[in-house]
Amino acid sequence: MDLFENLRMAWRTIRGHRLRSTLTTLGVVIGIGSVIALVTLGASLQGAIIADVAAGPSNGGAAGPPKMTVGSQLQSADGGSGEGGGGLAVFTEYDIQQLQGTEGVETVVPQGSVSLSSVTYSGQPVAKSAMTATTPAYFSQTGAGNFSAGGPFSPGEQEVVLNEAAATMFKQNVSVGDSITVTRSGGERINATVLGILEGSSSSSEFGSSDDSLPPEIYGPTDPFYQTQLVSPATGENQRVYSQLTVVAVDHDQIDPVSKRVTDYFTADSDAQRLLPSSHGVSVQVVDESVRQMQSLVSTFTSVVTGIAVISLIVGAIGIANIMLVSVTERTREIGIMKAVGFQNRDILQLFLVEAVILGLAGSVFGIIVGVLAGYSTTAFLALPFIFPIEWAGIAVAVGMFVGVVAGLYPAWNGARIDPIEALRYE
Amino acid sequence: MSVNERTNQAAVTVQDVRKTYQVGEPVHALDKVSLNLKRGSYTAVMGPSGSGKSTLMNLIGCLANPTEGRVIVNGKDVTQLSSRERTRLRGIEIGFVFQTFNLMPRLTAQENIVQPMVAQKVSRSERNERAKQLLERVGIGDRADHRPNELSGGQRQRVSIARALANAPALILADEPTGNLDSETGANIMELLSELYEGGHTILMVTHDRDIAEHADKIIHLLDGVIEREEIVDSPVRPTVGGGK
């Protein structure tokens, strides 16, 4: 029997039992619908989180630019990944250049700690153990904060940037254009012009704006402040080495691949890898880890609830199987007639199978509609962006067909092997 | 081979057929039955219920296999065929006319007639064309789109006959074709069968009505699974269409 004729026959039977077919389909509709609704909701939640992150701190988002911190740490150590420049200074300028050329990397900002003994302003020395040497990109790219006055320093100049806490640590407040004297731990004094003052809070706005809680920080260009140097194993030249790098990716989607590439670079043939003692390793830490944890929490939640929804899909499949068995019994006589006029067992099998698949498919199509509507209204209610993962529509249709085949196979097989003589006698 | 070719070659040969049902102890529904249906012949099988009429019909109609012996339809030994080949033979060579019509209730008259052709994968336009011709031939051309429950008993049996003719089979098996009809309508159906006989079809009819059986050339009397006797009808009833008896 050709498929078209088969479809016509099956459709006629389904339409002949409108209520029964609707109720049977309803099981699948509810199953597919709830899966689609939950998946949509999950995707929308994740979308909302990503959108928040991308918006950045200035727009009230949860985190700053898509960045990761590269440091060194004892391989056995957990945590303490060399934050705040506490790690070993092993990242050479060669490494920075290599990373800069890596796909998906927006910029690489080195940070090094310069040991000080004190800082003097208008004749008043204040003890200070360290300042941070970095590049101007530190301020523009890593979300270190906004300037309340002035701007970044220029490389190679004797200029510094203070944060609010550092500007107010003297009796007299420091303002842009003033000169301060930095005394290295070795005793060498460097006079520097204050070019900018940073706003109180640093990277995360959620810590509030209580400036006093932050320690005073002084930032200067790597040249001339930073002097820690080593011979780069790759180039053989004496280069500055830093204890920490901040790698900024081009966007949030790139964070994972970039962090993988950075990790790959350091595990392979990098200066840092050669310079590090064997007890240490390079650690790459994505800064918006918390966002990712939330994302994984959401996806775990989604898959658990989806799992529960799948159970209702199984119930739907049993419904189809049940109604197909009834249908085969009811139509025993028709099966007998069909066999008498020359239909093969295969044709009978196909007829019932197609009917079951139509029920499953109809269920999945209506399920998608119901699920999308439910997902849409829920996201609208929760003020989330509506995101429908379109591949799930395909998955739902495939599942609907699969459910139809699985549920229809036994009843159809049962129908196909009915003895025509018995069937014709069946009342 | 044209159905109009009336030769001495057998359309159906039944040789020493035994059909045994295992109900506690074996029961022989048919016991060593042999018969020959000539091509283009008109044969009636008579006998009380339980005599094996239906079993014989089912064996010749390729709906079942004998326990012993051979059934040869149109030169093919049915007992040697696979289930698929047997179904195919049934679809092409045999047309069934049932006492209870056995029409598909949800299909229209035309759709019912088309079914055997659907089974044989005849093209859509061809089978619809043929269904229309057949509806005309059995005299209900205006009922093509009616469902069985919208048709009278006689009309239903006409649809059933048209369906039996769909694939132009050589052999028509009629099981009590007038059993569910009043005598007048039954007579009309018998006219139609006579017409088919005139057209060259081989007809085998089961009945317990002597008047109906006398339409045939030959009556086979079955009793308890064996052929009691074969009777040649001297002057078979041959109604002409529209002319009554």
Contact list in A for residue B116 (CB cut-off 8 A) is 341-342
* Nearest residue of B to residue A17, measured between CA atoms: B106
| Residue A150 pLDDT | 85
Nearest alpha-carbon partner for A42 in A297, A324, A262 = A297
Condensed to tens digits (0 to 9), the pLDDT of residues A104-151 reads: 888 898 888 888 888 998 888 888 888 988 888 888 777 767 788 888
The answer to whether the Cβ–Cβ distance between B61 and A345 falls below 8 Å is: no
Contact list in A for residue B106 (CB cut-off 8 A) is 12-13, 16
- Residue B183: both structure tokens together: 């005598």
Residue A5 pLDDT class (50, 70, 90 cuts): confident
CA distance A28 to chain B (A): 26
* Percentage of chain A modeled with pLDDT above 70: 89
Name the residue type at position A236.
G
Query: Has residue B175 been placed in a domain?
Result: yes
Give the E-state strand segments of B5-113 in sequence order: 10-23, 25-38, 42-46, 68-73, 76-77, 94-97
* Nearest residue of B to residue A347, measured between CA atoms: B119
Residue ranges of chain A whose CB lies within 8 Å of a chain B CB: 1-2, 5, 12-13, 16, 333-334, 336-345, 347, 420-421, 424
Helix, strand, or coil (residue A243): coil
| Residue B7 pLDDT | 53
CA distance A422 to chain B (A): 10
| R_g of chain A computed on alpha carbons | 34
Q: Using alpha carbons, list the distances in angstroms from residue B245 to B187, B191, B212.
A: 8, 9, 11
CA angle B235, B240, B244 (to 5 degrees): 95
| Residue A286 pLDDT | 79
pLDDT in tens, chain B (245 residues): 444 444 557 889 999 999 998 888 888 899 999 999 999 999 999 998 889 998 999 999 999 999 999 999 988 999 999 999 999 999 999 999 999 999 999 899 999 999 999 999 999 999 999 999 999 999 999 999 999 999 999 999 999 999 999 999 989 999 999 988 998 999 999 999 999 999 999 999 999 889 999 999 999 999 999 999 999 998 888 886 554 44
Question: Given B64, B90, B107, which is nearest A342 (Cβ)?
Answer: B90
* Nearest residue of B to residue A346, measured between CA atoms: B84
Is residue A45's pLDDT more than 80? Answer: yes
Condensed to tens digits (0 to 9), the pLDDT of residues B27-79 reads: 889 999 999 999 999 999 999 888 999 899 999 999 999 999 999 998 899 99
Contact list in B for residue A5 (CB cut-off 8 A) is 118
Question: Given A12, A334, A342, which is nearest B120 (Cβ)?
Answer: A342
Residue with tokens 């009819």: B205
CATH of residue B43's domain is 3.40.50.300
Q: Are B217 and B198 in contact (CB under 8 A)?
A: no
Q: What is the domain extent for residue B184?
A: 39-57+82-232
Q: Are B170 and B2 in contact (CB under 8 A)?
A: no
The domain tally of chain B equals: 1
Is residue A427's pLDDT more than 80? Answer: no
Q: Are A275 and A66 in contact (CB under 8 A)?
A: no
The answer to whether the Cβ–Cβ distance between A1 and B58 falls below 8 Å is: no
Is the model more confident about A200 or about A24? A24
Question: Given B58, B90, B102, which is nearest A337 (Cβ)?
Answer: B102
Find which of A7-16, A101-110, A309-318, A346-355 is predicted with most confidence, using mean pLDDT: A346-355
Name the residue type at position B242.
G
Contact list in B for residue A337 (CB cut-off 8 A) is 102-104, 115
Per-residue pLDDT, averaged over A241-259, amounts to 84
Query: Has residue B222 been placed in a domain?
Result: yes
Query: Has residue B119 been placed in a domain?
Result: yes
DSSP conformational letter for A128? -
pTM here is: 0.68
| Residue A293 pLDDT | 74
Condensed to tens digits (0 to 9), the pLDDT of residues A360-390 reads: 999 999 999 999 999 999 999 988 888 888 8
Q: Which residues neighbour A385 within 8 Å (Cβ) at sequence distance 6 or greater?
A: A44, A47, A48, A51, A379
Name the residue type at position A116.
L
Per-residue pLDDT, averaged over A258-284, amounts to 83
